[in-house]
Amino acid sequence: MGAEMKTEDKNIAELFGRIQNAKHLVALTGAGVSTLSGIRDFRGKNGLYNDMDAEKIFDIEYFMQDPSFYYGQAGSFIYNIDEKEASVVHLVLGELERRGFLKALITQNIDLLHQKGGSKNVIEIHGSPKTHYCLRCAGVRMDFDEAAALVRAGELPKCPKCGRALKPAITFFGESLPADALREAVSESQDADLMLVLGTSLTVYPAASMPDYTLRSGGEVVIVNNMPTPLDHRAVQRFDDLGEVFEGLKACLTG
């Protein structure tokens, strides 16, 4: 870098200033955040929808008919989390929370990488694979590590009472979103004076409505995504490259 800062560096420095000055900073993340960890997103240029029937993987009716389809397909991007490292985005968000800047992180993701990156206050509005449960027998639970070990061994996590395949507490198509998580996400979005919208195309509702709550409450929105979103024109700043932006924010935090 020469004597003058490059335009992109100036923009990232401006973003860091917004983060420092925010009274209630909230982040909303989508699948694009995890692509830097080697997990493919759903609707991006190289997304799962291009060569995999992702809707069938997460369809509750299909799961009830053939749970092995879900476990066979999802094994590659959910149950191999030990092989995936938190990206610079996950790590910087974790550090922003640790330093008291980031108050809440709302995520559509189900890969647990935000927790791996150090985030504590994670609101998983599409559910989470942390727990697996029986659709028939009340009280039957299995944690993620035990379920993942079985899936990696080519087996299904099964109920010890009835023998049925356990279902992850991920929200499938045909199911309602977890009410408590959704309520908390709306509340945090309304309280936010700045929301970072990261790696999401803002096309899946109700998650896509969270920035609207912030805007209607007088807050500002910054969008970082490699594809256009319906709210680009309302963002106070707009970036394309998550990796570049968060490497810049990392430098601001350590500089």
State the Cα angle at 184 between 227 and 104, rounded to 5°: 60
For 130, phi then psi, to 5°, come to -60, -30
Ordered DSSP codes for 163-201: -PBPEEEE--BTSPPPHHHHHHHHHHHHH-SEEEEES--
* 3-state secondary structure at position 146: helix
The question of whether 114 is a catalytic residue gets the answer no
CB 189 within 8 A of CB 211: yes
DSSP 22: -
State the Cα angle at 246 between 52 and 47, rounded to 5°: 10
Quote the tokens at residue 229: 């979103």
Please tell me the distance from the alpha carbon of residue 130 to that of residue 78, in angstroms, as a whole number. Answer: 11
From the list 90, 114, 126, 132, the catalytic residue is: 126
Please tell me the distance from the alpha carbon of residue 240 to that of residue 229, in angstroms, as a whole number. Answer: 11
CB 41 within 8 A of CB 47: yes
Please tell me the distance from the alpha carbon of residue 247 to that of residue 245, in angstroms, as a whole number. Answer: 6
DSSP 78: T
Enumerate the active-site residues: 126
